[in-house]
Amino acid sequence: MKTKRIDKREEGIGVVEPQYYTIDSLMLESGEKLGQVTLAYETYGALNENKTNAVMVLHALSGDAHAAGLDTERKNPGWWDSMIGPGRAFDTDKYFVISSNVIGGCKGSTGPSSVNPATGRHYALDFPIVTINDMVDAQKRLIDHMGIDKLLTAAGGSMGGMLALSWLVRYPDRIRSAIPIATAIKHGPQQIAFNEVGRQAIMADPHWNSGNYYGGPPPAKGLAVARMIGHITYMSDLSMEEKFGRQRKNGNEPFKFTADYEVEGYLRYRGDSFVKRFDANSYLYITKAMDNFDATELRPLQDSLQGQKTKVLVIAFKSDWLYPAYQSKEIVKACKRSGIETTYCEVDSTYGHDAFLLEVEEETHLISHFLKKVFHEYETA
């Protein structure tokens, strides 16, 4: 009788416990100081003796520290579980993977829903404005705490790609490579516009109460609408046609203002489920941080990257109209002009912006080969 060979990629990581690190204080780009900053994070795999195999994966707007494995409460898989684990793109038999919830978030890291130790009340809108760079500064403090001198890579999609670019510009001596996926050097007016409509939907909800809704009903309707708007931008025209078409939910039922079409029901479900796991004020703060991010704010990106020895892998998706491929090509152009070794891949996907979470096979092929080369050069340097 033959023994069935088990693919290591099917094993996964198992149940993962969240961890927490508290920073005494963090100076923000605004000049304000944020005291007692807690970062929620998870790690997967083992840090090697020389601490050369550390990888930071960076989440998107609605993500959190739970990137892989199963959480302790509901046994839900992490947001990038298909990419992290034994034999996967971020192979935990080789690499030590770190994922932290950004400051301003609501899944364990300090944000507007946290209690201000100075007042004993929720921060709400007293929470200071934070930037993408502030989020990276906090993550840098985390790897300092871990005793990691250099990250093998900083990788992420969407807002995670912005965080990767911030690592590249802000701490080039602390990373060996960066993998920005489906992202941009800075938001264009259309991206800012979509975020602003979402913010206005939240603030128009009477339960928002100028951000002071903690202890009472949250602005659920407003946050749900904001998420519905977001989901439309994450998909492509073709993926929506293939998934929903004009299929009705209620058969021959006469027209009324209910979710008659499958796509309407899907958006309402997504909006309602998002409200149960995300804080409305965090949505405001994080989307504003994304809109304010500009990797060229101080000087052209190619000048900021001049003389670096880091390597960069940029991935874009042809059907992504929220972060179109031309924005990724702008990153590539700046990197190449600065002399950085850069690889660009444009994946022919129909999934739209969501492709960075769904095109697992293609991304695994690209990332695993890229990391293998970077790691080998790091170890033999």
Q: Any idea what the CATH number is for the domain that residue 130 is in?
A: 3.40.50.1820
Q: H-helix or E-strand containing 141? A: helix 132-146
pLDDT band at 72 (very low <50, low <70, confident <90, very high): confident
Nearest to 269 by CA among 302, 305, 227: 227
158 given a catalytic annotation: yes
| Structural domain containing residue 122 | 9-186+297-380
Interval 123-132: pLDDT, tens: 999 999 999 9
Q: Global pTM? A: 0.94
Would you say residue 231 lies in a domain?
yes
CB 312 within 8 A of CB 168: yes
Catalytic option among 158, 236, 304, 319: 158
Copy the structure tokens of residue 29.
């780009």
Interval 137-182: pLDDT, tens: 999 999 999 999 999 999 999 999 999 999 999 999 999 999 999 9
Nearest to 207 by CA among 215, 199, 216, 219: 219
DSSP string, 236-256: -HHHHHHHTTT-BSSTTPPP-
CB 27 within 8 A of CB 6: no
Would you say residue 2 lies in a domain?
no
145 given a catalytic annotation: no
Please state which of the ranges 39-53, 68-82, 251-265 shows the lowest mean pLDDT.
Answer: 251-265
How many contiguous H segments (helices) and E segments (strands) does the chain have? 12, 10
Task: Indicate whether 39 and 117 sit together in one domain.
Answer: yes
320 given a catalytic annotation: yes
Amino acid at 209: N
Cα separation, 345 vs 367, in Å, equals 11
Would you say residue 3 lies in a domain?
no
Catalytic option among 122, 187, 231, 353: 353
Catalytic option among 64, 279, 320, 354: 320
Interval 320-337: pLDDT, tens: 999 999 999 999 999 999
> Phi and psi (nearest 5°) for 257?
-85, 60
Task: Indicate whether 155 and 19 sit together in one domain.
Answer: yes
In the chain, how many domains are there? 2
Task: Indicate whether 17 and 120 sit together in one domain.
Answer: yes
**End-to-end alpha-carbon separation of the chain, Å?**
48
